[in-house]
Amino acid sequence: MLANTTSPIPPEAFVSTETFIVHTSKSEYLGQSIHNLTGYPVIPIIYKKFQDGESYYRINIPERTSLVGRNVVIVSSIVDDMELLEVVRIGGELSELGTKRRIFVIPYLMYSTMERAVKPGEVVTCKSTVRMLCGIPSSGLGNLFMLMDLHTSGIIHYFEGTVQAMELYAEPVLEATIAQNIDFNEPCIFGSADLGRPLWVETFANKFNVGMAFIRKSRSFEDTHVVGEPIGDVKGKHVIIYDDMTRTAGTLIKACNAYLDNGAKKVTAVLTHLCLIDEVVIQSVIDSRLDKVIATNTSVRTQLPKIQNSKKFIICDVSPVFANQIKACLSHI
Protein backbone atom coordinates (compact mmCIF):
# COMPACT_ATOMS: atom_id res chain seq x y z
CA MET A 1 0.00 0.00 0.00
CA LEU A 2 1.45 3.35 -1.07
CA ALA A 3 0.22 6.62 0.44
CA ASN A 4 1.26 9.99 -0.94
CA THR A 5 -1.52 12.53 -0.53
CA THR A 6 0.44 15.69 -1.32
CA SER A 7 2.16 16.75 -4.53
CA PRO A 8 5.96 17.07 -4.33
CA ILE A 9 7.36 20.52 -3.63
CA PRO A 10 9.27 22.05 -6.59
CA PRO A 11 13.06 21.91 -6.03
CA GLU A 12 13.36 25.71 -6.27
CA ALA A 13 11.12 26.08 -3.19
CA PHE A 14 13.87 24.60 -1.02
CA VAL A 15 16.14 27.50 -1.96
CA SER A 16 13.84 30.27 -0.73
CA THR A 17 11.84 28.61 2.09
CA GLU A 18 13.05 28.53 5.70
CA THR A 19 10.32 26.41 7.30
CA PHE A 20 8.42 23.34 6.14
CA ILE A 21 5.68 21.08 7.51
CA VAL A 22 5.45 17.30 7.55
CA HIS A 23 2.64 15.27 9.09
CA THR A 24 2.08 11.65 10.00
CA SER A 25 -0.30 9.54 7.94
CA LYS A 26 -3.38 10.10 10.14
CA SER A 27 -2.78 13.79 10.87
CA GLU A 28 -3.04 15.32 7.40
CA TYR A 29 -6.05 17.41 8.48
CA LEU A 30 -3.99 19.17 11.16
CA GLY A 31 -0.94 19.57 8.96
CA GLN A 32 -3.00 21.17 6.21
CA SER A 33 -4.75 23.48 8.65
CA ILE A 34 -1.44 24.71 10.07
CA HIS A 35 -0.17 25.13 6.50
CA ASN A 36 -3.21 27.30 5.68
CA LEU A 37 -2.48 29.52 8.67
CA THR A 38 1.29 29.82 8.32
CA GLY A 39 1.94 29.39 4.61
CA TYR A 40 4.73 26.87 5.32
CA PRO A 41 4.87 24.29 2.51
CA VAL A 42 3.94 20.69 3.29
CA ILE A 43 6.57 18.12 2.33
CA PRO A 44 4.84 14.86 1.40
CA ILE A 45 5.91 11.61 3.00
CA ILE A 46 5.72 8.44 0.95
CA TYR A 47 4.53 5.46 2.97
CA LYS A 48 4.62 1.82 1.97
CA LYS A 49 3.42 -1.19 3.94
CA PHE A 50 5.03 -4.52 3.09
CA GLN A 51 3.30 -7.89 3.34
CA ASP A 52 5.32 -8.88 6.41
CA GLY A 53 4.08 -5.78 8.25
CA GLU A 54 7.21 -3.67 7.89
CA SER A 55 6.79 0.02 7.05
CA TYR A 56 8.73 2.12 4.54
CA TYR A 57 8.97 5.91 4.77
CA ARG A 58 10.52 8.51 2.51
CA ILE A 59 10.47 12.26 3.05
CA ASN A 60 9.89 13.43 -0.51
CA ILE A 61 12.77 15.86 -1.06
CA PRO A 62 14.77 16.28 -4.28
CA GLU A 63 18.28 16.25 -2.79
CA ARG A 64 20.03 14.89 0.29
CA THR A 65 20.91 18.48 1.24
CA SER A 66 17.47 20.01 0.58
CA LEU A 67 16.65 20.51 4.26
CA VAL A 68 20.06 21.45 5.63
CA GLY A 69 19.65 24.50 7.87
CA ARG A 70 15.85 24.53 7.52
CA ASN A 71 13.14 24.39 10.21
CA VAL A 72 10.56 21.61 10.07
CA VAL A 73 7.22 21.38 11.89
CA ILE A 74 6.20 17.75 12.49
CA VAL A 75 2.45 17.41 13.10
CA SER A 76 0.96 14.33 14.72
CA SER A 77 -2.04 13.54 16.87
CA ILE A 78 -0.54 10.50 18.60
CA VAL A 79 -3.60 8.29 19.05
CA ASP A 80 -1.90 4.91 18.63
CA ASP A 81 1.48 3.20 18.65
CA MET A 82 1.84 3.46 14.87
CA GLU A 83 1.57 7.26 15.00
CA LEU A 84 4.15 7.29 17.79
CA LEU A 85 6.58 5.20 15.76
CA GLU A 86 6.06 7.45 12.73
CA VAL A 87 6.94 10.52 14.80
CA VAL A 88 10.10 8.87 16.15
CA ARG A 89 11.22 7.57 12.75
CA ILE A 90 10.43 10.71 10.76
CA GLY A 91 11.82 13.01 13.45
CA GLY A 92 15.05 11.04 13.57
CA GLU A 93 15.49 11.21 9.80
CA LEU A 94 14.82 14.95 9.76
CA SER A 95 17.61 15.41 12.27
CA GLU A 96 19.93 13.28 10.12
CA LEU A 97 19.05 15.45 7.12
CA GLY A 98 20.63 18.48 8.82
CA THR A 99 17.52 20.43 9.76
CA LYS A 100 18.14 23.38 12.04
CA ARG A 101 15.09 23.20 14.31
CA ARG A 102 12.34 20.60 14.65
CA ILE A 103 9.02 21.58 16.23
CA PHE A 104 6.79 18.64 17.10
CA VAL A 105 3.11 19.60 17.24
CA ILE A 106 1.40 16.91 19.33
CA PRO A 107 -2.10 18.11 20.27
CA TYR A 108 -3.05 14.68 21.63
CA LEU A 109 -0.62 12.41 23.48
CA MET A 110 -1.72 8.82 23.98
CA TYR A 111 -1.19 7.12 27.36
CA SER A 112 -1.51 10.44 29.19
CA THR A 113 -3.84 8.83 31.76
CA MET A 114 -1.14 6.24 32.55
CA GLU A 115 1.13 8.78 34.17
CA ARG A 116 1.74 6.94 37.45
CA ALA A 117 1.94 3.42 38.82
CA VAL A 118 -0.67 2.24 41.31
CA LYS A 119 0.10 -1.47 41.59
CA PRO A 120 3.55 -3.10 41.85
CA GLY A 121 5.04 -3.74 38.43
CA GLU A 122 2.76 -1.39 36.51
CA VAL A 123 4.53 0.32 33.63
CA VAL A 124 4.18 4.11 33.64
CA THR A 125 3.40 4.04 29.93
CA CYS A 126 3.15 7.80 29.57
CA LYS A 127 6.71 8.24 30.80
CA SER A 128 7.92 5.44 28.51
CA THR A 129 6.26 7.19 25.57
CA VAL A 130 7.86 10.53 26.42
CA ARG A 131 11.26 8.84 26.75
CA MET A 132 10.87 7.59 23.18
CA LEU A 133 10.14 11.13 22.01
CA CYS A 134 13.09 12.51 23.96
CA GLY A 135 15.29 9.91 22.27
CA ILE A 136 14.75 11.46 18.83
CA PRO A 137 18.14 12.86 17.71
CA SER A 138 18.38 16.55 18.59
CA SER A 139 20.82 18.19 16.18
CA GLY A 140 21.14 21.88 15.37
CA LEU A 141 18.97 24.05 17.61
CA GLY A 142 17.22 20.96 18.96
CA ASN A 143 13.72 19.56 19.29
CA LEU A 144 10.75 21.48 20.66
CA PHE A 145 7.57 19.64 21.63
CA MET A 146 4.25 21.50 21.73
CA LEU A 147 1.44 19.68 23.53
CA MET A 148 -2.07 20.65 24.57
CA ASP A 149 -4.16 20.33 27.76
CA LEU A 150 -2.20 17.46 29.28
CA HIS A 151 -4.13 15.14 31.58
CA THR A 152 -1.86 16.11 34.47
CA SER A 153 0.51 19.06 34.64
CA GLY A 154 3.44 16.88 35.71
CA ILE A 155 3.65 15.14 32.33
CA ILE A 156 5.49 18.11 30.83
CA HIS A 157 8.34 17.41 33.28
CA TYR A 158 8.84 13.91 31.84
CA PHE A 159 10.58 15.61 28.90
CA GLU A 160 14.27 15.55 29.76
CA GLY A 161 17.69 16.02 28.24
CA THR A 162 18.30 18.59 25.54
CA VAL A 163 14.69 18.84 24.34
CA GLN A 164 12.25 21.65 25.12
CA ALA A 165 8.56 21.11 25.80
CA MET A 166 5.63 23.44 26.32
CA GLU A 167 1.96 22.92 27.10
CA LEU A 168 -0.53 25.03 25.15
CA TYR A 169 -4.18 25.49 26.07
CA ALA A 170 -7.40 25.03 24.15
CA GLU A 171 -9.21 27.43 26.49
CA PRO A 172 -9.52 30.41 24.07
CA VAL A 173 -10.84 28.20 21.26
CA LEU A 174 -13.33 26.47 23.55
CA GLU A 175 -14.46 29.76 25.11
CA ALA A 176 -15.20 31.24 21.70
CA THR A 177 -17.13 28.15 20.61
CA ILE A 178 -19.09 28.03 23.86
CA ALA A 179 -20.03 31.69 23.48
CA GLN A 180 -21.25 31.07 19.92
CA ASN A 181 -23.35 28.01 20.71
CA ILE A 182 -24.78 28.45 24.22
CA ASP A 183 -27.40 30.99 25.24
CA PHE A 184 -26.27 32.51 28.52
CA ASN A 185 -29.50 34.51 28.75
CA GLU A 186 -30.99 31.34 30.22
CA PRO A 187 -29.82 29.98 33.61
CA CYS A 188 -26.52 28.15 33.07
CA ILE A 189 -24.00 26.47 35.32
CA PHE A 190 -20.66 24.81 34.62
CA GLY A 191 -20.22 21.31 35.96
CA SER A 192 -17.83 18.40 36.03
CA ALA A 193 -18.10 14.73 35.16
CA ASP A 194 -16.13 13.96 38.33
CA LEU A 195 -13.92 15.82 40.82
CA GLY A 196 -10.85 15.70 38.58
CA ARG A 197 -11.17 19.10 36.86
CA PRO A 198 -12.47 21.60 39.47
CA LEU A 199 -10.02 24.37 38.56
CA TRP A 200 -10.90 24.27 34.87
CA VAL A 201 -14.60 24.21 35.70
CA GLU A 202 -14.00 27.26 37.90
CA THR A 203 -12.07 28.99 35.09
CA PHE A 204 -14.95 28.62 32.64
CA ALA A 205 -17.54 29.52 35.28
CA ASN A 206 -15.68 32.73 36.11
CA LYS A 207 -15.26 33.57 32.43
CA PHE A 208 -19.01 33.39 31.81
CA ASN A 209 -19.97 34.65 35.29
CA VAL A 210 -22.06 31.61 36.27
CA GLY A 211 -22.01 29.08 39.10
CA MET A 212 -20.48 25.61 39.44
CA ALA A 213 -21.64 22.08 40.17
CA PHE A 214 -19.74 18.83 40.65
CA ILE A 215 -20.26 15.09 40.54
CA ARG A 216 -18.43 12.62 42.77
CA LYS A 217 -17.23 9.53 40.93
CA SER A 218 -15.89 6.24 42.24
CA ARG A 219 -13.62 4.19 40.00
CA SER A 220 -12.56 0.56 39.80
CA PHE A 221 -10.30 -1.06 37.21
CA GLU A 222 -13.21 -2.97 35.71
CA ASP A 223 -15.83 -0.21 35.73
CA THR A 224 -16.39 3.45 36.41
CA HIS A 225 -19.65 4.66 37.88
CA VAL A 226 -21.14 7.88 39.12
CA VAL A 227 -22.41 7.95 42.67
CA GLY A 228 -24.27 10.49 44.75
CA GLU A 229 -26.21 13.59 43.85
CA PRO A 230 -24.60 16.60 42.17
CA ILE A 231 -22.91 19.09 44.46
CA GLY A 232 -24.62 22.38 43.60
CA ASP A 233 -28.08 23.53 42.56
CA VAL A 234 -28.76 22.48 38.95
CA LYS A 235 -32.56 22.59 38.93
CA GLY A 236 -33.91 24.35 35.86
CA LYS A 237 -30.42 25.15 34.60
CA HIS A 238 -28.40 24.34 31.50
CA VAL A 239 -25.42 22.36 32.83
CA ILE A 240 -22.20 22.67 30.81
CA ILE A 241 -19.88 19.80 31.72
CA TYR A 242 -16.17 20.34 31.13
CA ASP A 243 -13.71 17.44 31.01
CA ASP A 244 -10.29 17.25 29.41
CA MET A 245 -11.02 14.01 27.54
CA THR A 246 -13.41 11.16 26.98
CA ARG A 247 -12.78 7.83 25.28
CA THR A 248 -15.63 5.50 26.22
CA ALA A 249 -17.99 8.34 27.28
CA GLY A 250 -19.26 6.21 30.16
CA THR A 251 -18.53 8.72 32.91
CA LEU A 252 -19.73 11.61 30.75
CA ILE A 253 -23.09 10.04 29.95
CA LYS A 254 -23.66 8.96 33.56
CA ALA A 255 -22.83 12.45 34.80
CA CYS A 256 -25.25 13.89 32.25
CA ASN A 257 -27.99 11.56 33.49
CA ALA A 258 -27.25 12.47 37.11
CA TYR A 259 -27.62 16.19 36.41
CA LEU A 260 -30.83 15.69 34.43
CA ASP A 261 -32.29 13.34 37.05
CA ASN A 262 -31.69 16.08 39.62
CA GLY A 263 -33.61 18.72 37.71
CA ALA A 264 -31.21 20.15 35.13
CA LYS A 265 -32.96 21.54 32.05
CA LYS A 266 -30.35 20.20 29.61
CA VAL A 267 -26.67 19.24 29.51
CA THR A 268 -23.89 20.17 27.09
CA ALA A 269 -20.45 18.56 27.19
CA VAL A 270 -17.28 20.56 26.51
CA LEU A 271 -14.11 18.55 25.89
CA THR A 272 -10.57 19.26 24.81
CA HIS A 273 -9.83 15.72 23.63
CA LEU A 274 -12.72 13.83 22.01
CA CYS A 275 -11.19 10.37 21.56
CA LEU A 276 -14.21 8.08 21.25
CA ILE A 277 -12.79 4.63 20.67
CA ASP A 278 -15.19 3.23 18.07
CA GLU A 279 -18.47 3.78 16.24
CA VAL A 280 -20.46 1.96 18.92
CA VAL A 281 -19.28 4.50 21.50
CA ILE A 282 -19.92 7.37 19.10
CA GLN A 283 -23.47 6.12 18.61
CA SER A 284 -23.95 5.89 22.38
CA VAL A 285 -23.11 9.60 22.64
CA ILE A 286 -25.43 10.44 19.76
CA ASP A 287 -28.23 8.47 21.44
CA SER A 288 -27.53 9.92 24.89
CA ARG A 289 -29.44 12.68 26.65
CA LEU A 290 -26.61 15.15 26.01
CA ASP A 291 -27.91 18.17 24.11
CA LYS A 292 -24.63 18.73 22.27
CA VAL A 293 -20.91 18.02 22.52
CA ILE A 294 -18.40 20.83 21.93
CA ALA A 295 -14.86 19.54 21.39
CA THR A 296 -11.60 20.41 19.70
CA ASN A 297 -9.99 18.48 16.86
CA THR A 298 -6.88 17.40 18.78
CA SER A 299 -7.69 13.74 18.12
CA VAL A 300 -7.81 12.26 14.62
CA ARG A 301 -10.99 10.45 15.67
CA THR A 302 -12.92 13.72 15.47
CA GLN A 303 -12.55 13.41 11.70
CA LEU A 304 -14.59 10.21 11.52
CA PRO A 305 -17.67 10.66 9.28
CA LYS A 306 -20.00 9.56 12.08
CA ILE A 307 -18.84 12.54 14.14
CA GLN A 308 -18.47 14.99 11.26
CA ASN A 309 -21.98 14.25 9.98
CA SER A 310 -23.76 14.36 13.35
CA LYS A 311 -25.49 17.52 14.57
CA LYS A 312 -24.71 16.40 18.13
CA PHE A 313 -21.03 17.33 17.76
CA ILE A 314 -19.50 20.80 17.32
CA ILE A 315 -15.80 20.45 16.50
CA CYS A 316 -13.53 23.50 16.78
CA ASP A 317 -10.03 23.86 15.37
CA VAL A 318 -7.01 24.30 17.65
CA SER A 319 -4.60 24.87 14.77
CA PRO A 320 -4.54 28.67 15.32
CA VAL A 321 -3.18 28.16 18.84
CA PHE A 322 -0.30 26.08 17.51
CA ALA A 323 0.29 28.25 14.43
CA ASN A 324 0.65 31.39 16.54
CA GLN A 325 3.08 29.70 18.93
CA ILE A 326 5.14 28.22 16.08
CA LYS A 327 5.50 31.63 14.44
CA ALA A 328 6.42 33.23 17.76
CA CYS A 329 9.13 30.64 18.42
CA LEU A 330 10.61 30.80 14.94
CA SER A 331 10.66 34.60 14.96
CA HIS A 332 13.43 34.46 17.57
CA ILE A 333 15.72 32.14 15.60
Reported as a single tens digit per residue, the pLDDT across 303-325 is 999 999 999 999 999 999 999 99
Q: Do 2-169+319-330 and 171-316 show the same overall fold?
A: yes
Q: Which of 165, 172, 168 is nearest to 203 (CA)?
A: 172
Q: What is the CATH number of domain 171-316?
A: 3.40.50.2020
Query: Which of 49-63, 158-172, 187-201 is predicted with the least confidence, judged by mean pLDDT?
Result: 187-201
- Mean pLDDT for 137-142 is 94
Q: What is the mean pLDDT of residues 205-217?
A: 92
Question: pLDDT at residue 219 above 60?
Answer: no
At 82, the pLDDT band (50, 70, 90 cuts) reads very high
Kindly tell me if the per-residue pLDDT of 1 is higher than 50: no
> Beta 266-274 vs 211-219: how paired, if at all?
unpaired
What's the whole-number mean pLDDT along residues 294-298? 99
pLDDT of amino acid 27: 97
SS3 at position 227: strand
CA dist 213 to 151, 195, 259, Å?
Answer: 21, 10, 9
Every domain of the chain and the residues it spans = 2-169+319-330, 171-316
Q: What DSSP designation does 154 have?
A: G
d(CA 112, CA 125) in angstroms, rounded, equals 8
User: What is the model's pLDDT at position 7?
Assistant: 62
Find the mean pLDDT for residues 75-102.
97
Per-residue pLDDT for 160 more than 90?
yes
Whether residue 26 contacts residue 71, with contact meaning beta carbons closer than 8 Å, is answered with no
- E strands of the chain, at which residues? 2-3, 19-23, 45-49, 55-59, 71-75, 101-106, 143-148, 164-168, 188-192, 211-219, 224-231, 238-246, 266-274, 292-296, 313-316
DSSP for 290-302, please give it.
-SEEEEEB-SGGG
Measured CA angle at 12 (ends 9, 14), to 5 deg: 70
Give the sign of the dihedral formed by CA 200, CA 204, CA 206, CA 207: positive
What is the arithmetic mean of pLDDT over 239-243?
97
Mean pLDDT of 118-135: 94
Return mean pLDDT, the chain.
92
| Res 165: pLDDT | 97
**Which residues partner with 226 through β-bridges?**
217
Q: pLDDT at position 2, please?
A: 43
The predicted pLDDT at position 15 comes to: 79
| Residue 216 pLDDT level (bands cut at 50, 70, 90) | confident
Contact predicate 1/48, CB 8 Å? yes
Side-chain half-sphere exposure of 190, counting CA atoms within 13 A: 22
pTM: 0.92
In CATH, the architecture of 2-169+319-330 is 3-Layer(aba) Sandwich (3.40)
Residue 300 near residue 11 (C-beta atoms within 8 A): no
Q: Which amino acid appears at position 270 of this protein? A: V
Q: What local confidence, expressed as pLDDT, does residue 6 receive?
A: 53
Q: How confident is the model at residue 150 (pLDDT cuts 50, 70, 90)?
A: very high
